[in-house]
Amino acid sequence: MDYHAGVPDTFTLSGDHEQRLVQVLEIARHLARVAQGPADRHMQAALAALEDALADHLAAIETAADDDKADAEDSGEAERERRAWRPLRAA
């Protein structure tokens, strides 16, 4: 089995800083998973632990984003943002 299949040498990130950070962590988690295949026993254990830690960090970021959205809804800020993007109606 070729463990390197489907892993590009370059990556293009897009979005804001938070989105780019999530993309980097997802890439790192994927590479840690892929690298486990051909690695020796101790390296496999270290890479598995790294993959788990990256998954935990990604989950923490997702939870924080959801919490921020909920806070914005509760405070009414989200509604103000939505209204700011609506076109003005002619009276």
- Look at residue 7 and tell me if it is in a domain: no
Domains of the chain: total:
1
- Look at residue 65 and tell me if it is in a domain: yes
CB 78 within 8 A of CB 69: yes
Q: Which domain holds residue 26?
A: 17-85
The model's confidence at residue 3, banded by pLDDT at 50, 70 and 90, is low
- Look at residue 10 and tell me if it is in a domain: no
In this prediction, residue 1 carries a pLDDT of 44
Per-residue pLDDT reduced to its tens digit, 16-29: 999 999 999 999 99
In this prediction, residue 86 carries a pLDDT of 72
Per-residue pLDDT reduced to its tens digit, 15-68: 999 999 999 999 999 999 999 999 999 999 999 999 999 999 999 999 999 999
CB 58 within 8 A of CB 26: yes
Can you give the pTM of this predicted structure?
A: 0.74
- Look at residue 91 and tell me if it is in a domain: no
From CA 3, how far away is CA 49, in angstroms rounded?
19
